[in-house]
């Protein structure tokens, strides 16, 4: 028996055959039997076996396991109550379904790490082995350091964007979205976007900026992106609009801090047909002009809202809209309807005065000591005059008129919107941005991410995403606790500890049996929007 090679003239592929010679008695001549065994690799000359030949020559692989509960082979007792809660939240919010669609091979690992980050407050991921031994969780196995690193690096941009799209569409057009940024310090010099910037917590380390988008009513995050540490808030909006287009978000309603205000950003929001409420500075010409016109009216009882303890009124304006049109090579200019919302808060006035007095004292001390800070350079010049002579030394004189002008605006603030003209409706929506500011404390404090300790971009991207998934679960629990007024009796950690104490017993031949659950625990599940687990559980 030998090998015969034959080339197909049409395709150019060379095939290899087993050739067996034999004597044909009927025809009384030598004949040959040929069996195809594969095609020849043109580069290496190796024979690539055909499927039929491979099946005959190699042992057959075991058929894939049928879907369903994993059979119980060992007897064990694990904590189950808190991870069960997260399982149910994942179903309610569609997080599990969306993760499975975006990361079909690793979604269970992502969920398990997210559960660990929430329940093991501030503990490093090296503790996962210990935690998983005593908890029922989606992945059901250990994730050693190398495998967790592989997990983070496997989370690609396409999957993340698909997840944002799916989560966003579950709440699209149902609420305003609050957008804000924070800074995360890093010791790593290998990360491209870690830069020196304006750290909001006055940390002197280089930083990475993180932008988050939260639902104003749901209190849930569904988008984030990382930014270079030296990128200012005002520069992020146009990129945000472009990514909204990529994800298919249309007619978004945004709540933005005044740090995002600029003429270009407002024009970009109009261009993309987005509704918005944004804080504005009082020293803008059109804002200051209307405030002067309404300053006396603003303090009248008729404009007081007792719930907020704030005076407010609305002035319709015409926004001077501009849009450069590259396809025509011109700039479109027209007027767009908008609303300027003016407010006065007596409590804020007193607070502004105290803070300004402290700030002016600090500026004066800096000047006297000759230790000016770069970020206050403009304010030194605005409020003080510094002279220095050989005899009298350095002399710091306050600019009374500038201080008097600043004092006139204590307690006043303004918002701009292209949809909401009710001042107190706008104020209520604007204050919802506080949920973003408070949420930033979760990944930094509870989720152990105040200072990044990853050394590669891929690991950073993946870890940020898993932290974000954990933040969704955490935000849901906090919102439900607030709605049910559970914070009057429980801390977040105390409630999770209470749920985590519920056990699940597994025994071969007997299935999974839930441990004792109290009426108090049952009520907590209901307050958090999920049904309590049943006494007997056939499978996970």
- pLDDT tens column, 324-340: 888 888 889 999 999 99
Q: Is the pLDDT of residue 209 over 80?
A: no
Q: Is 516 exposed, middle or buried (0-12, 13-18, 19+ CB in 10 A)?
A: exposed
Q: What is the pLDDT of residue 318?
A: 95
Q: At 167, is the secondary structure helix, strand, or coil?
A: helix
Q: At 122, is the secondary structure helix, strand, or coil?
A: coil
Q: Is the pLDDT of residue 300 over 80?
A: yes
Q: What is the pLDDT of residue 191?
A: 47
Tens digits of residue pLDDT in 469-494? 998 999 899 889 989 999 999 998 89
The C-alpha atoms of residue 416 and residue 340 are separated, in whole angstroms, by 5
Q: Which of 226-235, 286-295, 408-417, 441-450 has the lowest mean pLDDT?
A: 441-450
Q: What is the enclosing helix (H) or strand (E) of 514?
A: strand 511-514
pTM over 0.85: no
The C-alpha atoms of residue 170 and residue 92 are separated, in whole angstroms, by 11
Q: What are φ and ψ of residue 307, in 5° steps? A: -60, -40
Q: Is the pLDDT of residue 538 over 70?
A: no
More confident site: 16 or 221:
221
For residue 332, the tally of other CB atoms under 10 A from its CB is: 11
DSSP for 175-242, please give it: S-EEEEEEEEEE--SS-TT-B----TT---S-EEEEEEEEETTT--EEEEEEEETT--GGGSHHHHHH
Q: What is the enclosing helix (H) or strand (E) of 466?
A: helix 457-483
Left if phi > 0, otherwise alpha if psi is -120 to 50, otherwise beta: which for 68?
Answer: left
Q: Is the pLDDT of residue 83 over 50?
A: yes
Q: At 509, is the secondary structure helix, strand, or coil?
A: coil
Instruction: Please answer whether residues 231 and 199 qualify as being in contact, where contact means their C-beta atoms are separated by less than 8 angstroms.
Output: no
Q: 391-400: long-range contacts at Cβ-Cβ below 8 A with a sequence spacing of 24 or more? A: 394/367, 394/368, 394/370, 396/364, 396/367, 396/368, 398/360, 398/364
Q: Which two tokens stand for residue 271?
A: 């261009």
CA nearest to 353, candidates 404, 400, 305: 404
CA nearest to 493, candidates 437, 440, 432, 445: 445
Q: What is the pLDDT of residue 472?
A: 92
The C-alpha atoms of residue 287 and residue 20 are separated, in whole angstroms, by 95
By percentage, how much of the chain surpasses pLDDT 90?
41
Neighbour-count burial for 13-46, b at 16+ CB within 10 Å, e otherwise: eebbbeeeeeeeeeeeeeeeeeeebbbbeeeeee
Q: What is the enclosing helix (H) or strand (E) of 246?
A: helix 237-247
Only one residue has tokens 């929007």, namely 529
For residue 343, the tally of other CB atoms under 10 A from its CB is: 23
């Amino acid at each position: 028996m030998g090998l015969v090679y034959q080339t197909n003239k049409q395709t150019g592929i060379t095939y290899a055959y087993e050739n067996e010679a034999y004597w044909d008695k009927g025809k009384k001549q030598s004949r040959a039997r040929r069996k195809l065994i594969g095609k020849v690799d043109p580069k290496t000359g190796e024979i690539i076996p055909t499927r039929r030949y491979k099946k005959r020559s190699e042992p057959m692989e075991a058929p894939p396991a049928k879907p369903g509960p994993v059979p119980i082979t060992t007897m064990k007792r694990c904590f189950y109550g808190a991870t069960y809660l997260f399982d149910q939240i994942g179903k309610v919010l569609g997080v599990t379904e969306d993760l499975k669609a975006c990361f079909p091979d690793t979604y269970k690992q992502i969920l398990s790490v997210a559960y660990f980050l929430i329940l093991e407050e501030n503990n490093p991921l090296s503790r996962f082995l210990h935690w998983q031994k005593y908890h029922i969780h989606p992945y059901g196995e250990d994730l050693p350091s190398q495998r967790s690193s592989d997990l983070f690096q496997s989370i690609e941009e396409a999957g993340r964007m698909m997840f944002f799209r799916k989560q966003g569409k579950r709440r699209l057009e149902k609420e305003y979205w609050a957008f804000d940024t924070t800074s995360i310090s890093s010791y790593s010099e290998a990360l491209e976007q870690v830069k020196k910037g304006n750290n909001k917590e006055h940390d002197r380390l280089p930083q990475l900026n993180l932008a988050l988008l939260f639902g104003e009513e749901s209190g849930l995050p569904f988008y984030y992106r990382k930014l270079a540490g030296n990128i200012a808030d005002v520069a992020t909006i146009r990129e945000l609009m472009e990514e909204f287009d990529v994800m298919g978000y249309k007619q978004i309603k945004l709540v933005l801090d005044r740090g995002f205000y600029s003429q270009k950003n407002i024009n970009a929001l109009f261009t993309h047909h987005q509704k918005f409420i944004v804080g504005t500075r009082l020293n803008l010409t059109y804002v200051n002009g209307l405030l002067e016109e309404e300053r006396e009216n603003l303090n009248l009882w008729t404009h007081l809202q007792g719930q907020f303890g704030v005076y407010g009124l609305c002035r319709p304006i015409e926004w001077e809209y501009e849009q450069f049109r590259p396809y025509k090579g011109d700039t479109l200019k027209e007027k767009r309807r908008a609303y300027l919302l003016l407010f006065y808060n007596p409590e804020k006035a007193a607070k502004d005065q105290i803070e300004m007095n402290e700030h002016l004292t600090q500026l004066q001390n800096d000047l006297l000591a000759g230790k000016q800070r770069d970020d206050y350079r403009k304010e030194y010049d605005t409020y003080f005059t510094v002279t220095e002579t050989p005899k009298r030394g350095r002399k710091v004189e306050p600019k009374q008129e500038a201080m008097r002008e600043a004092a006139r605006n204590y307690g006043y603030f303004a918002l701009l919107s292209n949809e909401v003209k009710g001042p107190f409706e706008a104020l209520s929506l604007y204050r919802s941005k506080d949920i973003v500011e408070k949420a930033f404390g979760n990944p930094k404090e509870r989720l152990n991410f105040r200072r990044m300790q990853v050394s590669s971009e891929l690991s950073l991207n993946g870890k940020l995403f898993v932290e974000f998934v954990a933040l969704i679960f955490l935000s849901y629990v906090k919102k439900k606790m607030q709605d049910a007024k559970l914070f009057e009796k429980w801390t977040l950690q105390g409630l999770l500890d209470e749920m985590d104490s519920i056990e699940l017993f597994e025994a071969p031949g007997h299935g999974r049996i839930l441990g004792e659950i109290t009426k108090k625990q049952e009520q907590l599940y209901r307050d958090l929007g999920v049904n309590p687990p049943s006494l007997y559980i056939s499978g996970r």
